[in-house]
């Protein structure tokens, strides 16, 4: 988890907060924004850190194998079942089961998962009795699940089970100032991996990096940096800007006057202050308003302005 932008710091603060709660989490964000990395951060910063983190890609689960993959089977359950096989919920016992691309589950698979989530009891194929496990469920999707519900592609009751906590991973184009930081990090990791001396970037390359749309987000940046670093022959990494101007946004305008600089500083202060405040108040906006001496309605507008998600309160 590497970054210093406001969008990144807000997401990272929520990850830190969510790691303290043993509740289901839904992580949404575009492809390549680091959803699995965020899920691992929630797991390894929490109380289950010493226990398994088991990821599964739901898009690769056919209906015929969903129960076998999740719950395993007993010897003799079917023709090729020569030995007992533990399912993923058993392998993740005590730890975290990460369901990536959860929106890709078929209707049958959604029913199977919903039934398991009700009490975390399951019956392996060929088993004679119900078994109990204890796993934390974290799911991820590159689609907005509420819209999938509206389209009839995802069960509303399953969404209620999964979405106790919600994390939205920001796209790379909204992480102002992080792109150069990440690009230099990928150069260092590629240097160590391929035993080639690290190289700096050409300033013009970093300039268009900041304006590029990055539809593949961090994954696209990492692949591009790795390729250009390995093929670079000079003393710098120089990458031509895309030929299509559609992929590039306007160059960021420099802060040239006092009023603009003041507005930027106030926005950054408000964001940092609100993240700490809402965390101290356990996500309770009324408590946060009392702590800060701020009118609740005004505080709510600030939270909405800075897109800071309010966590459920843990107060009795």
Per-10-residue mean pLDDT for the chain, 316 residues long?
87 91 93 95 95 92 81 65 78 94 91 91 78 93 92 93 94 91 95 94 92 92 95 91 63 51 69 77 84 88 71 41
Contact 87, 72 (CB under 8 A): yes
Domain 6-170: CATH architecture, name and number where available:
3-Layer(aba) Sandwich (3.40)
CB-based contact 187:239 (threshold 8 Å): no
How many Å is the maximal CA-CA distance in the chain?
76
Tell me the three state secondary structure of residue 207: helix
Distance between CA 137 and CA 302 in Å, rounded? 31
CATH fold, domain 174-247, is Helicase, Ruva Protein; domain 3 (1.10.8)
Query: How many Cβ atoms are within 10 Å of 153's Cβ, its own excluded?
Result: 16
d(CA 76, CA 56): 25
Q: Comparing C-alpha atoms, which of 15, 34, 5 is closest to residue 180?
A: 5
Q: For residue 279, give the nearest of 2, 4, 7, 16 by alpha carbon.
A: 16
Residue 121 backbone dihedrals phi, psi, to 5 degrees:
-105, 150
Residue at token pair 């961090």 = 218
- pLDDT at position 124 is 79
Q: For position 316, what pLDDT does the model report?
A: 37
Strand runs (DSSP E) across 101-240, as ranges?
121-122, 131-132, 136-141, 165-168
Alpha carbon dihedral 185, 189, 192, 198, in 10-degree steps, equals: -40
The Cα–Cα gap between 273 and 277 comes to 6
Nearest to 70 by CA among 25, 27, 110, 24: 110
Rg (CA), the chain: 23
Task: Give me the pLDDT at residue 310, please.
Answer: 52
Question: How far apart (Å, rounded) are the C-alpha atoms in residues 305 and 159?
Answer: 26
Q: Are 87 and 133 in contact (CB under 8 A)?
A: no
- Token pair, residue 131, equals 């078994």
Q: Comparing C-alpha atoms, which of 39, 278, 42 is closest to residue 141?
A: 39
Res 246: pLDDT: 47
Residue 239 main-chain phi, psi, to 5 deg = -120, 120
Q: What is the pLDDT of residue 283?
A: 77
Predicted model pTM: 0.75
CA-CA-CA-CA dihedral for 96, 102, 107, 111, to nearest 10 = 20
């Amino acid at each position: 988890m590497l970054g210093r932008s406001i969008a990144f710091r807000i997401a990272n603060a929520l990850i830190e907060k969510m790691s303290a709660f043993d509740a289901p989490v839904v992580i949404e964000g575009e492809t390549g924004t680091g959803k699995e990395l965020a899920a691992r951060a929630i797991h390894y910063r929490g109380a289950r850190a010493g226990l398994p983190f088991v990821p599964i890609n739901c898009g690769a689960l056919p209906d015929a194998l969903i129960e076998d993959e999740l719950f395993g089977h007993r010897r003799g359950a079917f023709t090729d079942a020569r030995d007992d096989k533990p399912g993923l919920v058993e392998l993740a016992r005590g730890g975290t089961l990460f369901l990536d691309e959860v929106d890709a589950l078929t209707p049958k698979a959604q029913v199977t998962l919903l039934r398991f989530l009700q009490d975390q009891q399951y019956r392996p194929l060929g088993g004679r009795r119900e078994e109990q496990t204890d796993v934390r469920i974290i799911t991820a999707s590159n689609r907005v699940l509420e819209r999938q519900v509206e389209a009839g592609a995802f069960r509303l009751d399953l969404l209620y089970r999964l979405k106790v906590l919600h994390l939205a991973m920001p796209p790379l184009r909204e992480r102002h100032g992080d792109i150069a930081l990440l690009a230099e990090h990928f150069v260092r990791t590629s240097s160590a991996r391929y035993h080639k001396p690290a190289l700096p970037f050409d300033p013009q390359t970093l300039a268009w990096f900041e304006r590029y749309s990055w539809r593949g987000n961090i994954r696209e940046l990492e692949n591009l940096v790795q390729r250009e670093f390995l093929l670079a022959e000079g003393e710098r990494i120089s990458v031509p800007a895309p030929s299509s101007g559609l992929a590039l946004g306007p160059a960021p305008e420099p802060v040239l006057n006092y009023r603009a600089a003041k507005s930027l500083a106030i926005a950054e202060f408000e964001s940092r202050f609100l993240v700490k405040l809402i965390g101290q108040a356990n996500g309770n906006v009324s408590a946060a308003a009392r702590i800060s001496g701020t009118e609740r309605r005004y505080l709510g507008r600030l939270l909405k302005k800075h897109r800071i998600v309010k966590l459920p309160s843990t107060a009795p």
